Amino acid sequence: MEDTIDPFEIHVEEAVLDDLWTRLRRTRWPAALDDPDWAYGIEQNYLRSLVRHWLEAYDWRAQEARLNAWPQYRTTIDGQQIHFYHVPSTAPDAIPLVLTHGWPGSVLEFVDLIGPLTDPVAHGGDAADAFHVVIPSLPGYGFSQPNDRKGWEPRRTARAWAQLMSRLGYERYGAQGGDWGWFVSQWVAREDPAHCFAVHLNLLFAMPPSPEAVARLAELPASEREKWERFQKYSSAESGYANIQSTKPETLGLGLADSPVAQLGWITEKFRSWTDCDGRIENAISRDDLLTNVMLYWITNTGASSARFYYEAMRSGALAPQPRLETPVGHACFPKEILAAPRTWCETAFNIVQWTDMPRGGHFAALEQPDLLLADVRRFFRRFRA
């Protein structure tokens, strides 16, 4: 039956791992380019060092155990298998919260937040800040299987999340996310306003509300002007991956499915560009976290289907400007986030009741600055507790 919820545990067969190690050792490298600034893309010497770490030091079984430390499930919604973590809190007044990742992220981003969210007392917090946690893998990502169906985009995904929360018995819940998670989370609020009462985002963007708004940029503080400059830089120099994934994802997917080094390079370059790392990824996240995130694409063969989410989103209307979202929104604004807009513009599109300018951090907030994100999520949802 489609509404069945089945327990799930990650166990990758040794043959899959052996094939991975063989492919890594047999990589055919192109001629190296002297490009220490990564101006042309990922720098080959760094990529080679990552491959050595993958082969010689990385322990997948230890990471597998880490991922399996919390209960996971699979269920089918709208014909699509959905993988998700579901960790209820023992606190009587815990708030259900669905957290959504993006590309090139995964559920890994939130795994180390499960304990502090569900059991704050055990992590130095207040029992009044407890959450029941639901963390799904986006359709076509990770263990939500490589889909072979067209049409999975943010709005349809939001409807699936609403159905998932209902299936789990939650009548009142919040949503949180960044990257694709910010689109999905706001669509959850739009599609299920009777049950989703608030949204917390670590990426929030709005286009200029009028031509005059751009003309008046000079009147805004430098910190606000910098947000728009960040978006313009992203559009001109960092968005080529999105153009490819939203136009020809299947062609790209052939390389991602066949070469683990291609998959590693495709993702790693974004982690360097999008994290607050001063040019060294390890300043923001560990090599093992980076590789585990890549493994969730490689072992599930979801490089192509995850890219396809862009194709579907661009043609669905889900990314088009919408009427102002009146559901209360909280925003954790990290300084190295790739997409940003002046607060005044965002307030025309969203009912922002909390805005926090963070001192550090980038696009992968839950991995880079988990304590800052956790504190902001707790503070935001306190206003909605009984």
Look at residue 24 and tell me if it is in a domain: no
Task: State pTM to two decimals.
Answer: 0.97
Number of H helices, E strands in the chain: 17, 9
pLDDT digits (tens, 9 = 90+) for 129-143: 999 999 999 999 999
Task: Please give the tally of structural domains in the chain.
Answer: 1
Q: How confident is the model at residue 352 (pLDDT cuts 50, 70, 90)?
A: very high
Look at residue 300 and tell me if it is in a domain: yes
Give me the domain span that covers residue 324: 42-382
pLDDT digits (tens, 9 = 90+) for 4-29: 999 999 999 999 999 999 999 999 99
Are 270 and 52 contacting, i.e. CB atoms less than 8 angstroms apart? no
User: Which tokens in the block code for residue 175?
Assistant: 């949503």
Look at residue 6 and tell me if it is in a domain: no
CA angle 315, 317, 318 (to 5 degrees): 110
Residue 310's nearest CA partner among 139, 159, 170 is: 139
362: CATH: 3.40.50.1820
pLDDT digits (tens, 9 = 90+) for 71-104: 999 999 999 999 999 999 999 999 999 999 999 9
Among residues 141, 170, 297, 310, the one annotated as catalytic is 310
146 in helix, strand or coil?
Answer: coil
Look at residue 94 and tell me if it is in a domain: yes
Among residues 141, 200, 363, 376, the one annotated as catalytic is 363
Contacts (Cβ under 8 Å, ≥6 apart) of 328: 197, 198, 199, 351, 353, 383, 384
Look at residue 254 and tell me if it is in a domain: yes
The pLDDT mean for the chain works out to 96
Look at residue 273 and tell me if it is in a domain: yes
Look at residue 12 and tell me if it is in a domain: no
CA 378/CA 383 separation, integer angstroms: 9
Given a cut of 70, whether residue 63 has pLDDT beyond it is yes
Residue 362's region, left for phi above 0, alpha for psi from -120 to 50, else beta, is: beta
Burial of 62-96, coded b for 16+ CB within 10 Å and e otherwise, reads ebbebbeebebbbbbbeebbbbbbbbbbebeebbb
Q: How confident is the model at residue 1 (pLDDT cuts 50, 70, 90)?
A: low
pLDDT digits (tens, 9 = 90+) for 283-310: 999 999 999 999 999 999 999 999 999 9
Share of the chain above pLDDT 90, in %: 89
User: Which tokens in the block code for residue 283?
Assistant: 């300043």
Q: Verify whether residue 53 is a known catalytic residue.
A: no
Helix (H) or strand (E) holding 246: none
pLDDT digits (tens, 9 = 90+) for 175-229: 999 999 999 999 999 999 999 999 999 999 998 888 888 888 888 888 888 888 8
- Rounded to a whole number, what is the distance in angstroms from the first to the last CA of the chain? 36
Among residues 179, 192, 276, 376, the one annotated as catalytic is 179
In this predicted structure, what is the pLDDT of residue 284? 98
Q: How many other CB atoms are there within 10 angstroms of residue 211's CB atom? A: 8
Q: Verify whether residue 173 is a known catalytic residue.
A: no
Q: Verify whether residue 34 is a known catalytic residue.
A: no
